[in-house]
């Protein structure tokens, strides 16, 4: 139904606030209220808000009661996303009316965390030991901050206990038993232990992945096996409203431009450029543009890539991109991070694009690493290209390339961008694990999967930015249907997001 609803909205040339989407999906007839609301509008609004559809649904219900004498439906249940976004939905909030002309605001970009210039590893065995120790210690500290694990024991002590035990470990093996239970092998710096997660226990529905750090509450049986009562993720503490700023400046998000590929969508990009430079109120309120990797298609990234290239020189690809960026209006300041197609080392964390490439661009671009934590006007944005989603999709049942927000929620629960080591995501063993989500961001953005979406998780706004590349032969073979040329736009004052299609 979600797809049907979004297709309907896109057909009508408008946008739906995420909270409105959730609300409509909780209704028996999601399209009805929307249709009624649009029919009553003198002109198609830029964004349809939660309030708009709630009102339309109420009107619809009272009409139904009068004409069909049906029992009155229960009052509309506030959508979960609405609860999170509640403080950001003022009366008659219209995305269009709230924007401030961007030119009035000086840009304020600060890079809070980024590997660029700080890489120390050479990839030795000691580097790996140090890297995983740092991961374990950092995530353990987060778990110890939760009341259940304040007094967590070392695994070596927990093994000898006969009472309830609480400990923290890194997952080193996961296997299923023949009765449908699971056994997790957990390690800390002192020992390793086996944990049985029964198929009818509270944690049965959770999927665990290799190398993530979890806390366990359970009892050791006489064979030294822990029967888990619960297996706990560090997670994002509690639910908080979006921590916005005073000014209604807006940020837009894009990624996966793949300049140089013969499937790069030049016409769609031209439309984006024209719109951004137009007099449109939303366009004029854009102050920031976050570009989350795969900015060019690169050279030699996959076998026989040369057959799919329109520009087969890496510098020429970045030069073409630099021209495209220069054509964007001056009031938009850009933050750009690399992805797996860009001209930096493939291992994550990736540093910013090299200086000779940066020099091709205008000065209003800030280059940062992948991942980076960046403050835009005081709003903390965690930008990560999203390569690890390949590993989430291949490991976690039910995950797929069309649901990147599910993988992003898992990352926040695990407080790690790429927990799985040894999969498709190459990881450089830095002294500090830069892939840990240490500081909880206000906005978490990824690209890579060439899909699009916005949602919230525990007060963090999740954004997956779309692509400007049509379906590639590889994606066709794998049945991956991209959603190109969609631009998520976020009001930094309220966290209200919209997706504009080109």
CB 383 → ligand D5M: shortest distance, Å?
Answer: 15
Q: How does strand 372-376 pair with strand 182-187?
A: unpaired
Tell me the H-state helices in 70-153: 80-85, 95-98, 125-144
CB 409 → Zn ion: shortest distance, Å?
Answer: 20
- Cβ partners under 8 Å of residue 306, min gap 6: 299, 312
- Contact status, residue 488 vs residue 497, Cβ threshold 8 Å: yes
Among 288-296, 312-320, 330-338, 344-352, which window interacts with Zn ion (CB under 5 A)? Answer: 288-296
CB 88 → Zn ion: shortest distance, Å?
Answer: 31
Select 287 or 486, whichever has its Cβ closest to ligand D5M: 486
Residues 315-374 that bind ligand D5M (CB under 6 A): 340-341
Select 340 or 469, whichever has its Cβ closest to Zn ion: 340
256 is a site residue for Fe ion (CB under 5 A): yes
Select 52 or 297, whichever has its Cβ closest to ligand D5M: 297
How many residues line the site for Zn ion (CB under 5 A)?
A: 4
Instruction: List residues bridging with 375 in a β-sheet.
Output: 110, 380
456 is a site residue for ligand D5M (CB under 6 A): no
CB 467 → Zn ion: shortest distance, Å?
Answer: 9
Torsion of CA 53, 485, 255, 466, to 10 degrees: 50
CB 448 → Zn ion: shortest distance, Å?
Answer: 4
Select 294 or 390, whichever has its Cβ closest to Fe ion: 294
- Cβ partners under 8 Å of residue 256, min gap 6: 292, 293, 294, 339, 447, 448, 450, 465, 466, 467, 468, 469
448 is a site residue for ligand D5M (CB under 6 A): yes
Residue with token string 């076998």 = 303
340 is a site residue for Zn ion (CB under 5 A): yes
Among 155-163, 286-294, 318-326, 419-427, which window interacts with Fe ion (CB under 5 A)? Answer: 286-294
CA atoms 373, 375, 378, 381: torsion sign: negative
φ/ψ of 69, rounded to 5, equals 50, 40
How many residues does the structure list for the chain? 502
- Contact status, residue 130 vs residue 121, Cβ threshold 8 Å: no
Distance between CA atoms of 17 and 454, rounded to whole angstroms? 9
Q: What mask of x and - would describe binding to ligand D5M in positions 275 to 314, judged by CB under 6 A?
A: -------------------x--------------------
Select 49 or 469, whichever has its Cβ closest to Zn ion: 469
CB 288 → Fe ion: shortest distance, Å?
Answer: 21
Among 65-73, 92-100, 161-169, 443-451, which window interacts with Zn ion (CB under 5 A)? Answer: 443-451
449 is a site residue for ligand D5M (CB under 6 A): yes
Select 181 or 424, whichever has its Cβ closest to ligand D5M: 424
How many residues line the site for Fe ion (CB under 5 A)?
A: 2
404 is a site residue for Zn ion (CB under 5 A): no
Distance between CA atoms of 311 and 320, rounded to whole angstroms? 9
Select 169 or 298, whichever has its Cβ closest to Zn ion: 298
Distance between CA atoms of 384 and 339, rounded to whole angstroms? 8
Instruction: List residues bridging with 193 in a β-sheet.
Output: 186
- Contact status, residue 242 vs residue 460, Cβ threshold 8 Å: no
Among Zn ion, ligand D5M, Fe ion, none, what does residue 475 contact (CB within 5–8 Å per kind)?
Answer: ligand D5M
CB 386 → Zn ion: shortest distance, Å?
Answer: 7
Q: What is the residue-wise DSSP string for 314-333?
A: HHHHHHHHHHHHHTS-TT-E
CB 294 → Zn ion: shortest distance, Å?
Answer: 4
Which structure tokens are listed for 176? 């299923």
339 is a site residue for Zn ion (CB under 5 A): yes
Select 142 or 257, whichever has its Cβ closest to ligand D5M: 257
CB 299 → Fe ion: shortest distance, Å?
Answer: 15
Residue nearest to ligand D5M (CB): 449
402 is a site residue for ligand D5M (CB under 6 A): no
294 is a site residue for Fe ion (CB under 5 A): yes
Select 33 or 484, whichever has its Cβ closest to ligand D5M: 484
Select 294 or 348, whichever has its Cβ closest to Fe ion: 294
Distance between CA atoms of 95 and 73, rounded to whole angstroms? 30
CB-based burial label for 216 (10 Å; 0-12, 13-18, 19+): buried
Reply yes or no: is the peptide bond before residue 349 cis, omega within 30 of 0.
Answer: yes
Select 310 or 480, whichever has its Cβ closest to Zn ion: 480
Distance between CA atoms of 254 and 463, rounded to whole angstroms? 10
Select 212 or 294, whichever has its Cβ closest to Fe ion: 294
Among Zn ion, Fe ion, ligand D5M, none, what does residue 480 contact (CB within 5–8 Å per kind)?
Answer: ligand D5M
φ/ψ of 41, rounded to 5, equals -85, 135
Binder among 166, 402, 448, 486 for Zn ion (CB under 5 A): 448
- Measuring CA to CA, which residue among 166, 257, 174 is closest to residue 216? 166
Under the rule (CB under 5 A), what is the footprint of Fe ion? Answer: 256, 294
Under the rule (CB under 6 A), what is the footprint of ligand D5M? Answer: 256, 294, 340-341, 390, 401, 448-450, 474-475, 480
């Amino acid at each position: 139904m979600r797809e049907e609803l979004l297709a309907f909205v896109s057909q009508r040339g408008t946008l739906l606030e995420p909270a409105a989407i959730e609300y409509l999906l909780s209704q028996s007839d999601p399209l009805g209220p929307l249709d009624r609301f649009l029919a009553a509008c003198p002109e198609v609004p830029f964004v349809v808000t939660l309030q708009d559809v709630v009102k339309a649904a109420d009107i619809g219900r009272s009409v139904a009661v009068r004409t069909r004498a049906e029992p009155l439906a229960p009052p509309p249940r506030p959508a979960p996303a609405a609860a999170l976004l509640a403080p950001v939905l003022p009366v008659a909030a219209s995305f269009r009316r709230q924007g401030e002309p961007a030119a009035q605001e000086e840009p304020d970009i600060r890079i809070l965390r980024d590997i660029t210039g700080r890489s120390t590893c050479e990839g030795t065995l000691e580097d790996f030991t140090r890297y995983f120790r740092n991961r374990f210690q950092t995530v353990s500290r987060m778990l110890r901050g939760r009341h259940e694990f304040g007094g967590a024991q070392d695994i070596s002590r927990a093994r000898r206990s006969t009472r309830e035990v609480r400990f923290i470990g890194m997952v080193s093996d996961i296997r299923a038993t023949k009765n449908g239970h699971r056994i997790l092998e957990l390690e800390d710096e002192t020992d390793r232990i086996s944990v049985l997660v029964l198929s009818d226990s509270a944690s049965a529905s959770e999927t665990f992945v290799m190398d993530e750090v979890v806390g366990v509450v359970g009892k050791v049986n006489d064979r030294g096996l822990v029967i888990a009562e619960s297996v706990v993720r560090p997670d994002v503490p509690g639910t908080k409203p979006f921590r916005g700023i005073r000014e209604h400046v807006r940020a837009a998000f894009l990624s996966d431009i793949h300049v140089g590929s013969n499937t790069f969508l030049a016409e769609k990009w031209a439309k984006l450029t024209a719109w951004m430079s137009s007099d449109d109120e939303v366009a004029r309120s854009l102050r920031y543009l976050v570009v989350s990797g795969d900015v060019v298609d690169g050279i030699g990234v996959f076998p026989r890539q040369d057959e799919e290239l329109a520009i087969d020189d890496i510098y020429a690809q970045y030069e073409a991109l630099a021209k495209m960026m220069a054509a964007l209006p001056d009031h938009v300041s850009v933050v750009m991070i690399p992805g797996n197609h860009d001209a930096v080392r493939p291992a994550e964390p990736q540093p910013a694009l090299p200086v000779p490439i940066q020099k091709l661009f205008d000065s209003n671009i800030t280059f940062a690493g992948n991942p980076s934590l960046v403050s835009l006007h005081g709003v903390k944005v965690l930008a990560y290209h999203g390569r690890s989603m390949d590993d989430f999709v291949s490991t976690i049942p039910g995950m797929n390339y069309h649901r990147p927000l599910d993988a992003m929620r898992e990352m926040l629960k695990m407080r790690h961008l790429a927990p799985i080591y040894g999969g498709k995501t190459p990881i450089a063993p830095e002294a500090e694990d830069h892939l840990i989500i240490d500081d909880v961001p206000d906005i978490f953005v990824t690209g890579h999967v060439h899909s699009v979406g916005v949602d919230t998780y525990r007060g963090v706004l999740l954004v997956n930015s779309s692509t400007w590349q049509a379906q590639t032969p590889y994606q066709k073979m794998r049945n991956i249907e991209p959603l190109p040329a969609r631009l998520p736009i976020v009001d930094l004052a309220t966290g209200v997001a919209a997706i504009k299609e080109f």
